[in-house]
Amino acid sequence: MTAIKHGLRRRRIRRIAVAGIAAAAGLLLAACGHSNDDRVSGTEHGAEPSKTATKDAGANTAPGAFNDADVMFAQMMIPHHQQAVEMSELADGRAEDAEIKSLAAAIEKAQDPEIQKMTSWLKGWGKPVPGGSATGMDHSMPGMDHGSASKDGSGMSGMMSGKDMKNLTAAKGRDFDRKFAQMMIGHHNGAIEMANDERKKGRNATAKKLAGDVVTNQSAEVGKLNKILDRL
């Protein structure tokens, strides 16, 4: 074989080798790209929660299992708390007793955040949220019949009627203080009854914890209100 033929053969071998290396590199890059695609696909389909799923899950501050008793507790306690807040707001400009003023402010401060919590539970559970003012509101939402006697006929124990609220609104000074104490004692006792019912029949741990707080805190406030009435 001549020198020219040997040179041509060596160049042909080098071209084949270079082509083989390029092909191998292309296959390697394709494999890497496929691996990355797999990881992205896995994230999208459940390896990691999507931003939307995370946001939705975070909206419910009472995660975990729940039952009808938990739902009813929140649906009924929201308007019950709303009325307590309305009663407490009336103390501004009407109450005379310093302890009544202080207690009314404490009730408003405590129950407003609890209303927000229970609203978030219902939204997270996909259940209806009661709306409107507590006084005179329509409590005919399915599942809202608690079965306990109440002044306003809503089925929620301890709720004041529209007439009661008008009488409280019209009162001032020592008369307001007495009416407020008497009405809030009845109102709190109704909330304690509903909370004890939730503690017995509820399933959701967060809801039952709040029910326990309602029993503890409002029982203490009933004690204070009774002492105030004794001296008024």
95 beta partners: 173
Q: Provide the percentage of residues in the chain whose pLDDT is more than 90.
A: 61
106-115: per-residue pLDDT in tens?
999 999 999 9
Asked if pLDDT for residue 10 goes beyond 60, the answer is no
Q: Please state the φ and ψ torsions of residue 168, each to the nearest 5 degrees.
A: -70, -40
pLDDT given at position 131: 80
35-83: per-residue pLDDT in tens?
343 333 332 222 232 333 334 444 567 889 999 999 999 999 999 999 9
- If you search the block for the tokens 């229970």, which residue do you land on? 118
Q: Provide the percentage of residues in the chain whose pLDDT is more than 70.
A: 64
**Between residues 62 and 169, the one the model is more confident about:** 169
pLDDT given at position 228: 96
173 beta partners: 95
Buried b (16+ CB within 10 A) or exposed e, 8-38: eeeeeeeeeeeeeeeeeeeeeeeeeeeeeee
- Asked if 229 contacts 181 with a C-beta cutoff of 8 angstroms, the reply is yes
Q: How far apart are CA 26 and CA 46, in angstroms?
A: 31
> Which residues fall within 8 angstroms of residue 63, CB to CB, at 6 or more apart?
57, 124, 206
pLDDT given at position 196: 97
pLDDT given at position 140: 40
104-147: per-residue pLDDT in tens?
999 999 999 999 999 999 999 999 999 855 544 444 444 443 33
pLDDT band at 209 (very low <50, low <70, confident <90, very high): very high
CA angle 182, 105, 166 (to 5 degrees): 45
pLDDT band at 157 (very low <50, low <70, confident <90, very high): confident
Asked if pLDDT for residue 178 goes beyond 80, the answer is yes
What value does the mean pLDDT take over residues 181-208?
Answer: 97
